[in-house]
Structure formats: structure tokens, C-alpha cells
């Protein structure tokens, strides 16, 4: 049978891994796809690198627009990244009637609504398994494996850099800045780690998963985002003493009032499986009404793990290449005409539990003043720990865990408590999820 011809845009880490795995497992992949899949042209500005990786086995060019306009190409793989030229290339490929496979979570989170609408109009597929959690097939699980379920919530460790940093901070008791430097030396963190450590990368991925889970539009601009750069090693230690681990989670929940869409450091009970995901690994926990909680774990980045997802998309597109567009799996799981526009809850309206750390003067009556303010805001305490001050020290830490309450109530309570003369400095506030 005639092979499917693929044009690869970008042959960096993931592109090189894709070329290597496709070549190595060609026979197996052909048996699964029903016809050979071959990369016939590679576009990259670094032609010398492209020549080294491909070994002269395909055509090379430094003009990506020539690839998306090539009438011989059936599928375009976009691995360039970013929002600018990548968006132009993807839209041009769609306009030319080509299917697209991409790992570009930033592009889809910010421009996915436009891209999927264009693909729908042209009757082509845009596949993006590699855009979320690397080699973990979470998109396929959400879009196909869990279609019988009403998805209730998703909570994911979806950035390996931050998970590595938090694991090292917990294991070694080191501050964030020290561990970040270690992560950079080991290649887990970029020279400019902002997108990772400030939660933006996780927010891109969460936006995509939320849209698939609830049949909603992409709403990246409405995600509440907090990173880990201001996280204190002391809070990791205190959380562990209380039986919790701190992870940077992407969380999306469907509630009666709207959809929660948030990324932030989160306390999780240490007995939960996801709390024990260490190093640079990823894990996504999905709660469906019929199936209950399901956990997906694996490598969230790297050449071959991500290539695994790219090639899985190639196989899917190849299988459905000649199918009537009406009978393909919809891009975001729900039929295009059945998509909804659910409101995204502002963070002030989110209901969850909280970890509060207060630095206070060590004197009688302090706790009574604090608990009175919490009671005024209808916040009840679930657990509390007070560190014994060192000899001669006049201040101490009080750590409180609250029952579930609305965020705006906690904001109001913090404002009042920080105004007390006996409270020193700012209160540390982290959110807590039981994930049941």
C-alpha cells in the first residue's frame, strides 16, 4: 500500500527522537497503521544537524513553508514550538488540506480554538497527544477511553522540572534557588526556567485537558497561575510533619458554579499515589463518575518518550486518513456543535482546604485572637501545630490546616490576621487537596 508521506518541521530533541523511533520500529508501526509511515522531508534551519540525524535518508530544506505547501505531503509534524511562525505554519498546512501532528502546548492553549475551527472547516485532523505529559497517553484516555464518564476533576503533576525541584527540596532540605541551579546543571531546567517554575507550562497543558474533559473552549487567559519560586523549604518540612507532600498541581474541576482552572503548589496526603511521584516524572489523576479515580504515570518529557506520543498520533491519523471527517474522533472529544461555554470560576470563589503558616510573638492570647478571626470568616481548623521556640527566642511558627472554605473568606481572614500586632510578616498560604 502507498506510504503516508510526512513532513517534519524541526529536528531538535523531539524531532530527532521521532525520526529515530519511527525508523527503528518501522515494521511494527506499519503493522499497526496498515501502511508505511515515512518522513520524506525535514525542515530545519540547522541543515547540518538535520543531515546528521537523518543520515541522508530524506529530503532536507530550511524552508518550512515549502513543506506545508508540498502536494506530496499528507501529514505535517510541527515541532518548532512557540506562538509565531508555528501558528502560521500550522494554519497554512490546514489550509492546504494537510493533517497536523504537534507537541506545541503553548500554541494550542492560546490559539487552539482558531486552529481546531480551521481544521474542522477543511476536514483535516490536528493531533496533539505529545502536547501534554510527554509519553503518557492522557489525551487519548480523556478523549476516548473515558468517554462513558462525566469527568468530575483532573489533578496533574504535569511539569517535570518543578517536580524534580520539589523532590530535591524535600529530600535534602535545600532552598529553591540551590536546587534550581542543580536542576539546570543536570539539564532538567532551562537557562531561563520561568515558564516551568512559575507554572506557565503546566497552565498550557491544563488548559488543553480541561477543554477535553468538559467540552469547553480553550481558556488559558483565565487560568489562575502560581509557581514554586517563592516556596519555602520550611513549608515542605512542616507539611511532611503533618502527613502531606507539596506538589505543583494543575487542577480543573467542574462545579455547579463553573469550572475551576488553577495551577499552584498543593498539599496532598502522603498516602495518595500521586503524592509519591518523584523526580522529573509526570502523573495525572482523573476522576470520572463511573470509573472513579484513574492515575496515568510516566515520563513527561525527553526525546523518545515524547516521540512515542508523536508517532501514536501519526498512526491514528494514518488509520483515519481516508475516513469521512464526520466519523473521526472530535479534536476535543465532544462534537463541534456540542461544545459549551462554561464559565471559569475566579480564584476568589474556589472552595478548598488551606495550609496557613504564621510567624507570631510567643505570648498568651495570640491563638485566641487568630481563631476568633477565622471563626468570623466561617473557617474551621482541621489540624494545628505550634513549633516550640528556641531558647531566648520570642517568636514562633504556628501552622494551621483548615477545613474546606471559600478562598475569598481566607483572603479576608489573612488580611485581618496580618494586621494584628502579634503577627510578624506575611502569612504563608498554600492550598490542600484530598483528591478522593
As a whole number of angstroms, the distance between CA 50 and CA 12 comes to 8
Reported as a single tens digit per residue, the pLDDT across 116-128 is: 999 999 999 999 9
- Determine which of 250-259, 382-391, 413-422 has the lowest per-residue pLDDT on average: 382-391
Residue 412 burial by CB count (10 A; 0-12/13-18/19+): exposed, middle or buried?
middle
Q: What percent of the chain has pLDDT over 70?
A: 100
pLDDT category, 144, cuts 50, 70, 90?
A: very high
Q: Has 87 been annotated as catalytic?
A: no
Per-residue confidence (pLDDT) for residue 393, from 0 to 100: 84
Other residues' Cβ atoms within 10 Å of the Cβ of residue 166: 23
Reported as a single tens digit per residue, the pLDDT across 75-125 is: 999 999 998 999 999 999 999 999 999 999 999 999 999 999 999 999 999
As a whole number of angstroms, the distance between CA 163 and CA 137 comes to 19
Per-residue confidence (pLDDT) for residue 306, from 0 to 100: 96
* pLDDT at 42 > cutoff 80: yes
Residue 113 burial by CB count (10 A; 0-12/13-18/19+): exposed, middle or buried?
middle
- Domains for the chain: give ranges and CATH numbers: 4-135+303-338 (3.40.50.720), 139-299 (3.30.360.10), 351-432 (3.30.70.260)
Reported as a single tens digit per residue, the pLDDT across 282-315 is: 999 999 999 999 999 999 999 999 999 999 999 9
Reported as a single tens digit per residue, the pLDDT across 1-28 is: 899 999 999 999 999 999 999 999 999 9
Reported as a single tens digit per residue, the pLDDT across 151-187 is: 999 999 999 999 999 999 999 999 999 999 999 999 9
Q: Enter the C-alpha cell of residue 422.
A: 502579634
Phi, psi dihedrals of residue 104, rounded to the nearest 5°: -90, 85
* pLDDT at 323 > cutoff 90: no
Planar angle of CA 414, 416, 420, nearest 5 degrees = 110
Q: What is the mean pLDDT of the chain?
A: 96
pLDDT category, 322, cuts 50, 70, 90?
A: confident
Per-residue confidence (pLDDT) for residue 129, from 0 to 100: 97
Q: Which of 87, 105, 205, 287 is catalytic?
A: 205
Per-residue confidence (pLDDT) for residue 389, from 0 to 100: 79
Amino acid at each position: 500500500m502507498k506510504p503516508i508521506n510526512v513532513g517534519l518541521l524541526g529536528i531538535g530533541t523531539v524531532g530527532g527522537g521521532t525520526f529515530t523511533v519511527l525508523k527503528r520500529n518501522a515494521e511494527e508501526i506499519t503493522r499497526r497503521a496498515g501502511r508505511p509511515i515515512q518522513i520524506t522531508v525535514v525542515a530545519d534551519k540547522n541543515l547540518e544537524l538535520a543531515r546528521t540525524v537523518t543520515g541522508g535518508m530524506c529530503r532536507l530544506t530550511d524552508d518550512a513553508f515549502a513543506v506545508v505547501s508540498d502536494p506530496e505531503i499528507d501529514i505535517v509534524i510541527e515541532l518548532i514550538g512557540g506562538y509565531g511562525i508555528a501558528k502560521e505554519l500550522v494554519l497554512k498546512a490546514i489550509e492546504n488540506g494537510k493533517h497536523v501532528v504537534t507537541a506545541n502546548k503553548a500554541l494550542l492553549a492560546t490559539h487552539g480554538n482558531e486552529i481546531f475551527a480551521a481544521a474542522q472547516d477543511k476536514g483535516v485532523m490536528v493531533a496533539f497527544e505529545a502536547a501534554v505529559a510527554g509519553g503518557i497517553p492522557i489525551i487519548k484516555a480523556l478523549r476516548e477511553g473515558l468517554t462513558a464518564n462525566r469527568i468530575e476533576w483532573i489533578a496533574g503533576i504535569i511539569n517535570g522540572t518543578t517536580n524534580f525541584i520539589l523532590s530535591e527540596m524535600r529530600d535534602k532540605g535545600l532552598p529553591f534557588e540551590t536546587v534550581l541551579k542543580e536542576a539546570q546543571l543536570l539539564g532538567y531546567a532551562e537557562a531561563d526556567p520561568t515558564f516551568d517554575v512559575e507554572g506557565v507550562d503546566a497552565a498550557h497543558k491544563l488548559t488543553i485537558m480541561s477543554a477535553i474533559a468538559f467540552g469547553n473552549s480553550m481558556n488559558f487567559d483565565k487560568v489562575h497561575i502560581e509557581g514554586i519560586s517563592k516556596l519555602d523549604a520550611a513549608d515542605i518540612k512542616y507539611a511532611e510533619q503533618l502527613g502531606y507532600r507539596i506538589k505543583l498541581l494543575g487542577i480543573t474541576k467542574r462545579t455547579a458554579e463553573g469550572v475551576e482552572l488553577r495551577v499552584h503548589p498543593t498539599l496532598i496526603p502522603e498516602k495518595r499515589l500521586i503524592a509519591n511521584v518523584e523526580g522529573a516524572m509526570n502523573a495525572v489523576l482523573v476522576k470520572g463518575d463511573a470509573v472513579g479515580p484513574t492515575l496515568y504515570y510516566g515520563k513527561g518529557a525527553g526525546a523518545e518518550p515524547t516521540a512515542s506520543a508523536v508517532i501514536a498520533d501519526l498512526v491514528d491519523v494514518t488509520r483515519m486518513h481516508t475516513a469521512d471527517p464526520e466519523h473521526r474522533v472530535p479534536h476535543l472529544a465532544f462534537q463541534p456543535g456540542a461544545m459549551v461555554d462554561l464559565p471559569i470560576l475566579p480564584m476568589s470563589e474556589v472552595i478548598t482546604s488551606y495550609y496557613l503558616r504564621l510567624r507570631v510573638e510567643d505570648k498568651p492570647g495570640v491563638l485566641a485572637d487568630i481563631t476568633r478571626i477565622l471563626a468570623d470568616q466561617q473557617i474551621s481548623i482541621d489540624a494545628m501545630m505550634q513549633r516550640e521556640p528556641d531558647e531566648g527566642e520570642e517568636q514562633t511558627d504556628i501552622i494551621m490546616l483548615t477545613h474546606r472554605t471559600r478562598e475569598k473568606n481566607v483572603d479576608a481572614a489573612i488580611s485581618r490576621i496580618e494586621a494584628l500586632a502579634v503577627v510578624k510578616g506575611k502569612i504563608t498560604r498554600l492550598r490542600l487537596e484530598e483528591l478522593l
